[in-house]
Amino acid sequence: MSTFQGDERIEALHAQILERNPGEREFHQAVGEVLETLAPVLRQRPEFVEARLIERICEPERQIIFRVPWTDDAGDIHVNRGFRVEFNSALGPYKGGLRFHPTVNLGIVKFLGFEQIFKNALTGLSIGGGKGGSDFDPKGRSDAEVMRFCQSFMTELYRHLGEHTDVPAGDIGVGGREIGYLFGQYRRITNRYEAGVLTGKGTAWGGSQVRTEATGYGVVLFTAEMLRARGRSLEGLRVAVSGSGNVALYAIEKAQQLGATVVTCSDSGGYVVDEKGIDLDLLKQIKEIERGRVADYAERRGGDARYVTTGGVWDVPCDVALPCATQNELTGEDAATLVRNGVIAVAEGANMPTTPEGVRVLQEAGVAFGPGKAANAGGVATSALEMQQNAARESWSFSRTETRLAEVMRDIHDACVQTAERYGRPGDYVVGANIAGFERVAEAMLAQGVI
């Protein structure tokens, strides 16, 4: 029976995981970031060591890879690859989004699924961790092509899903349109109106109010809690946001509602700086309806708005930074620039958007840093609330759901703070989030035996 001997044993475990999962860079990064915070837990809880919980929690319960053939509007056949990694179900059915993007591969899906275990645990709701997607790119595809792809994707995936088994949602490239096509095919194949099998549905057919807004709203609510703990508020602060997708749009909206001035947004082509504050109605028109680019926003906004293709969005001076685009977008160099320009808080709206070096720079400078598994948990929390409404055949009002979301984000913040203090790292939200999430999953795994 082995025991961990501080960080050396954890380093050996990390090396073993790297060897078992070659080439999966993002997964390696996510696992390393969690493991480096767990040494004090394992020293205090030797039963976790004896039960090999680290080894088990880092190995997915199930990994599904499948072929997705589909026909485009010209009649040509394409073949994509589909993934679903069902990582951990100790706390409830697997829960996590589907991502449709050309960069999707097994390592990306495993990194996202691993993060999802702890994020979901932090919500305090009964949901496990999973993730999925495909290397299909919906950009530039017609509605009919997206529908045919989604139908082919679900024709394989449906056999692995169920409201008590695995409940996907949306992620990058998967919005209301895609969820609708996926749900329609699931219903067609199974002959069951199992509303709780997918979340992010339209409100007219089982979806939850606030689900569209939840991740963006949640990251701002978490930021507000971090600032409140320091005797500050968002009122009058200057905020930089990266991205212009769903998370970014609603982070901008909530930040503006709380009195901040949001001056940036971005996409893969460049970023916009709008000194008067982002015109959210115009940005939503361009991104959600016209599916345009932020360059179009700058052109139509005029005045003080400018479109920039050199440097990066984190060059713009701000009080609060909200990375809401994609993984590893905020580097150590970017973090140093933010610190020089006076940033006081950074919260991750995307999954792992800050590199390890970036996190180190921000924390050493005393910046309040909210990791994604805590700060962006609002989306999955509201998905769990959608599952709750589906199970009861209920539909909650916007205000009731938003109030519940705010309660969940406050509870997550407090759990992070209290756990970090308990382990001698006051103010360290990374340590607090990792340990609080891990302890809840570990306790359930220990109780359920070696499975």
Which domains, ranges and CATH numbers included, belong to the chain?
6-57 (no CATH), 62-194 (3.40.50.10860), 214-375 (3.40.50.720)
Q: What is the pLDDT of residue 7?
A: 67
- Binding annotation for substrate: 95, 116, 119, 170, 383
Q: What is the pLDDT of residue 12?
A: 86
3-state secondary structure the chain: CCCCCHHHHHHHHHHHHHHHCCCCHHHHHHHHHHHCCCHHHHHHCHHHHHCCHHHHHCCCCEEEEEEEEEECCCCCEEEEEEEEEEEECCCCCEEEEEEECCCCCHHHHHHHHHHHHHHHHHCCCCCEEEEEEECCCCCCCCHHHHHHHHHHHHHHHHHHCECCCEEEEECCCCCHHHHHHHHHHHHHHHCCCCHHHCCCCCHHHCCCCCCCCHHHHHHHHHHHHHHHHCCCCCCCCEEEEECCCHHHHHHHHHHHHCCCEECEEEECCEEEEECCCCCHHHHHHHHHHCCCCHHHHHHHHCCCEEEECCCCHHHCCCCEEEECCCCCCECHHHHHHHHHCCCCEEECCCCCCECHHHHHHHHHCCCEEECHHHHCCHHHHHHHHHHHHHHHCCCCCHHHHHHHHHHHHHHHHHHHHHHHHHCCCCCCHHHHHHHHHHHHHHHHHHHHCCC
- Binding annotation for NAD(+): 215, 246
Q: What is the pLDDT of residue 158?
A: 98
Contacts of 256 (CB under 8 A, 6+ apart): 262, 277, 278, 280
In angstroms, the CA 361 to CA 32 distance is: 17
- Binding annotation: 95, 116, 119, 170, 215, 246, 383
Given 110, 131, 287, 373, the catalytic residue: 131
Which amino acid belongs to residue 372?
G
* Active-site residue, 254 included: no
Please compute, for residue 365, the number of CA atoms within 13 A of its CA located in the half-sphere on the CB side: 22
Q: What is the pLDDT of residue 4?
A: 35
In angstroms, the CA 422 to CA 149 distance is: 49
Which parts of the chain sit beneath pLDDT 70?
1-7
Q: What is the pLDDT of residue 395?
A: 95
